[in-house]
Amino acid sequence: MSMPKVSLDGTSGFEIPRHVAIIMDGNGRWAAARSLPRAEGHRRGVEALRRTVRIAGELGIGILTIFAFSSENWSRPQSEIRDLLGLLRLFIRHDLADLHRNNVKVRIIGDRNGLEGDVSSLLNEAEEKTRDNDGLTLVVAFNYGARQEIARAARRLADEVVAGRLAATDITAERLSNFMDAPDLPDPDLIIRTSGEQRLSNFLLWQSAYSELVFVPTFWPDFDRAAFEQAISEYSRRERRFGGLAAAGS
């Protein structure tokens, strides 16, 4: 698929990835560096999310996936969990109309079992209200863990085998992919992690097999257009081989 070319940092011809995924990291450290409560860091992180969604649309990115809440985040202090869920509620209630008006389609991945009723309802509402939009697709990974997603897909495949609809010898990587949370979406071309940490932290492990990884030192609340464009510029300079050889045979 041909990707759009745009001008970044004064240089024309950079290739825009079709699907960008972001691990939004560093809210707490941003707040600590300023002697502010962690809740303020999370609040500023929501502002950065709004900014990033807008920029992604302006750059012509087709899909933006964000790691909003990890399945491991439930181990955090209850007060912080309440703050995070409260911000999610505010984001959907206050921003959903704007997202819909701007033709953004919202998709949710992750385990919805056991979520608080109003949280589950809000996630469903966001998907349903924007279902027919055909602009930027915003994928929200909520209560998400990649290993858990793979395990869910394996259980679904096992159910097919037990029901006699599939033979064990028919199980392939492609079939497993079809049982992931969003099998219709292409794998991310670029995964960005903010705050300087250099690991995926149980995020899109299956889908990231051939993704380009860019780690930026910026804490998430400070992630802006310049940082976003710099990450895309880094992506654009790389040669993606998908296990093959470079054009020159290297």
- Residue 199 included in any domain: yes
**199 marked among binding-site residues:** yes
Question: Which pLDDT belongs to residue 108?
Answer: 96
CATH of the domain at 108: 3.40.1180.10
- Residue 178 included in any domain: no
Please state the domain count of the chain: 1
**2 marked among binding-site residues:** no
Q: What secondary structure letter does DSSP report for 218?
A: S
**76 marked among binding-site residues:** yes
Lowest-confidence pick of 13-27, 71-85, 97-111, 194-208: 71-85
- pLDDT(207) > 90: yes
Question: Which pLDDT belongs to residue 2?
Answer: 41
Q: What is the mean pLDDT of residues 5-16?
A: 60
- Residue 98 included in any domain: yes
Question: Which pLDDT belongs to residue 11?
Answer: 43
- pLDDT(12) > 80: no
Tally of helices (H runs) and strands (E runs) in the chain:
7, 8
224/48 Cα distance (integer angstroms): 7
- pLDDT(135) > 80: yes
- Stated as kind and residue range, the H or E segment containing 68 is strand 63-70
Q: Of 55, 57, 109, 44, whose CA–CA distance to 83 is shortest?
A: 44
Structure tokens at 115: 């979520």
- Residue 243 included in any domain: no
Amino acid 16 reads I
- pLDDT(117) > 60: yes
**94 marked among binding-site residues:** no
By annotation, the residues acting in catalysis are 25, 73
- Residue 25 included in any domain: yes
**27 marked among binding-site residues:** yes
Percent of the chain with pLDDT over 90: 75
Range of the domain at 191: 12-145+187-236
Q: What is the mean pLDDT of residues 86-96?
A: 85
DSSP secondary structure, 15-43, as one string: EPPSEEEEE---HHHHHHHTT--HHHHHH
Question: Which pLDDT belongs to residue 246?
Answer: 58
- pLDDT(121) > 60: yes
Q: What is the mean pLDDT of residues 77-88?
A: 84
Task: Indicate the average pLDDT of the chain.
Answer: 90
31/35 Cα distance (integer angstroms): 6
- pLDDT(13) > 60: no
Distance of alpha carbon 152 from the chain centroid: 19
103/248 Cα distance (integer angstroms): 42
- Residue 215 included in any domain: yes
pLDDT digits (tens, 9 = 90+) for 164-182: 999 999 999 999 999 999 9
- pLDDT(23) > 70: yes
**30 marked among binding-site residues:** yes
pLDDT digits (tens, 9 = 90+) for 220-246: 999 999 999 999 999 999 987 766 655
**25 marked among binding-site residues:** yes
* pLDDT band at residue 115 under the 50/70/90 scheme: confident
- Residue 61 included in any domain: yes
- pLDDT(250) > 60: no
Question: Which pLDDT belongs to residue 4?
Answer: 52
**147 marked among binding-site residues:** no
